[in-house]
Chain A
Amino acid sequence: MTATTLTSTQGAGRAGDKIFSGAALAAGCLILAVLFGVALFLVVQAIPALTAPSAEIQGGEGFFAYIWPIVIGTLIAAVIALVIATPIAIGVALFISHFAPRRLAAGLGYVVDLLAAIPSVIYGAWGAAFLAKEISPAYNWLAANMGWLPIFQGPASATGKTILTAGIVLSVMVLPIITSLSREIFLQTPKLHEEAALALGATRWEMIKMSVLPFARPGIISAVMLGLGRALGETMAVALVLSSGALTASLIQSGNQTIAAEIALNFPEASGLKVSTLVAAGLVLFIITLAVNMVARWIISRHKEFSGAN
């Protein structure tokens, strides 16, 4: 930013400079230390669970038999959320960036951001008290008419507190993330590409298909991955909505569990080896979300260099 010679002359205030830059550096390093500490303390607390005899772990068959059903459950919930949220989020982002009247667009963007501002526990409460009740007739219909598919196998849960409901609530929570990131990318599309397409007589949809979407594809992928990171780690929506149980293929029966909800439901009363088991589960969740987020960030940073040419 500035030449260091400016700050290296003698005189009053030199100590102030040193202290201030030292404090700034220390704060930065503290963040690195905290992240390192997160990993370290999780590993230290998790080791007893990984080394304990398998009979002492919950379920009696060792840590991996305990963890894999809830890893699968976490993935199922996150995939449901993304399957629902991605098309809607891209539609909303397109609406705000290319379809809505220019004057309304900023306000509509704020409305979508409001979705992100609502605390997760309120979504959980809404899902448990309102959505589950309203949606259970639809599950009965699915069980009756689509029951030949393993994922819609009946009998449907009478309360509607199933992994599909949890996935729908999660999709509402990841929608604003995917929307706001995609919107940013859509707005970055080179204006000349869009105008060239329109000048050749393309309709608005053809213009979007030919110029906006190809340009935005890497951005959309990374937005979806960041949404996935959020969906994997989200706790309350699942803990409150899902009546958990063993791993089942059917999405409309009660059953399945996610890592985050498992921790939230059991940690407050846990002690001893149970704490270690839950911390180890948290470590697994940390590693999964870390990998997903790093891939997403990598795609974004690659895209940044590439789009700088435009």
Chain B
Amino acid sequence: MTSTLTPVRSKRSALTKGQLPKYAPYAVLAAALVVGAAILALVGFNAFGWGLVSALLFAIGLVSWSAAVEGSRKAKDKLATCLVVGSFLIALLPLISVIWTVLVNGIPGLIAPGFLSTSMNGVTGVYDNRAAEEGAPVIGGIYHALLGTIQITLLATVISVPVGLLTAIYLVEYGNDGRIARAITFFVDVMTGIPSIVAGLFAAAFFFAVVGPGTKTGAVAAVALSVLMIPVVVRSSEEMLKIVPNELREAAYALGVRKWRTIIKVVIPTAISGIASGVTLAIARVIGETAPILVTAGFATSINSNVFSGWMASLPTFIYTQILNPTSPANPDPSSQRAWGAALVLIILVMLLNLGARLIARVFAPKTGR
């Protein structure tokens, strides 16, 4: 094969004629960075502007060079590639910016003494004014909110998982794609689209009508979160139960095992890793919900460990109220420090849950080897 080709060293081969050399993108990138820095140096340097100007220069440079050498079709291809890669980089900007903002603003709040172990009970604007004006330590913490978040989410999970899992079992094992099963599938899809605030309003309206006007407790919030959580649990469990091989069920039936025992002893244990990771992702989704808790549990400043009576704080509503209604309106800085500290704790919780879901899916996955 190679012996028939005459090696061309000095001149470029006919096959690569009319193409940009391999180093073209790197050369254009280097030139764009230098020129971008030069332009920014004239108007005042900042990293964001440098990146933006260099990216524009890179795209223009590469596309026009390509148009000159390779023709318009290749140039259009280069332009599309630049736009697609550029859109990905743009999508990364808010992610990096959000995480950076939360880290920078949140760490001072998080390392403040007693932040995780005290509540906001008795913390008034007077202390915040002193902290802002005289440099006294910022007091008050998120213990009550953390406790509330854990209780509300736990109760929502206790409600949603049995309902969601049983519904998924009905859809996969008993539904036979009948009319009820199709109706449930359709309405579960509809439920995924319910705005979170409407779920909160529903729970509030339900308890206002059943228990009495103005009923706001942690349990109401848990019901609101369940409305959001159930469809997620149903969808993920349904997917997982569907991929359990039918041979396993048939083998159990052949041994004379009852259908319900087959489901409990064979089907669910096979799918448990996927179900558990789906439930963890559902928890991660609802733990950050603010609006439904705001309209159902109100906001408290003290520790309330009873989900069935009294207003209850949670991390998201804590962040919301500390930003919107600072403890001391004259000096909002201590409040915003606490809010960012709580935001950092919340983001860590959510990331841990997401990571946990992946770990569960990997560690407890059914062994496929023999």
Binds B, one of A56-64, A117-125, A246-254: A117-125
Cβ of B319 under 8 Å from chain A: yes
Min CB–CB distance B55 → chain A (angstroms): 14
A208-B80 contact in complex given A1-B173, A1-B249, A172-B94, C-beta closer than 8 Å:
yes
Cβ of A166 under 8 Å from chain B: no
* A-side interface mostly: helix
Other-chain contact of B163, A31, A111, A122 (Cβ < 8 Å): A31
List residues of A (90-122) whose CB comes within 8 Å of B's CBs. 90-92, 94-96, 99-100, 108, 111-112, 114-115, 117-122
B249 and A293 contact, CB distance less than 8 A: no
A271-B214 contact in complex given A263-B295, A293-B190, C-beta closer than 8 Å:
yes
B206: which A residues are within 8 A, CB to CB?
37, 41
**In the complex, which residue of chain A has the Cβ closest to the Cβ of B102?**
A122
Other-chain contact of B319, A89, A108, A115, A121 (Cβ < 8 Å): A121
Cβ of A28 under 8 Å from chain B: yes
A117 and B209 contact, CB distance less than 8 A: no
B354 and A122 contact, CB distance less than 8 A: no
A130 and B249 contact, CB distance less than 8 A: no
Binds A, one of B1-9, B19-27, B194-202: B194-202
List residues of A (199-254) whose CB comes within 8 Å of B's CBs. 203-206, 208, 226, 229, 232-236, 239-240
Binds A, one of B129-137, B150-158, B285-293: B285-293
Other-chain contact of A125, B183, B198, B231, B319 (Cβ < 8 Å): B319
B291: which A residues are within 8 A, CB to CB?
120, 235-236, 239, 260, 263-264
Q: How many residues of B contact A (CB 8 A)?
A: 102
Q: How far is the CA of A125 from the CA of B324 in the complex (A)?
A: 10
Other-chain contact of A13, B73, B88, B246, B261 (Cβ < 8 Å): B261
Q: How far is the CA of A239 from the CA of B319 in the complex (A)?
A: 13
B190 and A294 contact, CB distance less than 8 A: yes
Q: How far is the CA of A129 from the CA of B337 in the complex (A)?
A: 12
A297: which B residues are within 8 A, CB to CB?
186, 189-190
A233-B195 contact in complex given A41-B209, A115-B95, A121-B316, C-beta closer than 8 Å:
yes
B270: which A residues are within 8 A, CB to CB?
none
Cβ of A188 under 8 Å from chain B: no
Cβ of B273 under 8 Å from chain A: no
Q: How far is the CA of A17 from the CA of B260 in the complex (A)?
A: 5
B347 and A42 contact, CB distance less than 8 A: no
Q: How far is the CA of A42 from the CA of B79 in the complex (A)?
A: 51
A23: which B residues are within 8 A, CB to CB?
166
Cβ of B243 under 8 Å from chain A: no
List residues of B (336-353) whose CB comes within 8 Å of A's CBs. 336, 339-340, 343, 346-347, 350-351
Residue among B192, B197, B253 with most chain A CB within 10 A: B197
A233-B198 contact in complex given A95-B84, A126-B97, C-beta closer than 8 Å:
yes
Cβ of A49 under 8 Å from chain B: no
B323 and A130 contact, CB distance less than 8 A: no
B171: which A residues are within 8 A, CB to CB?
28
- 30 A-B pairs with CB atoms under 8 Å apart are A1-B176, A1-B246, A2-B250, A13-B260, A16-B261, A21-B174, A21-B260, A25-B170, A27-B170, A28-B171, A28-B175, A29-B180, A87-B87, A91-B86, A99-B85, A114-B354, A115-B94, A120-B288, A121-B346, A205-B81, A233-B194, A233-B195, A263-B295, A264-B197, A267-B201, A267-B204, A271-B213, A282-B198, A286-B194, A286-B198
User: Which 3 A-B residue pairs are closest in the complex by CB-CB distance?
Assistant: A233-B195, A119-B288, A91-B87
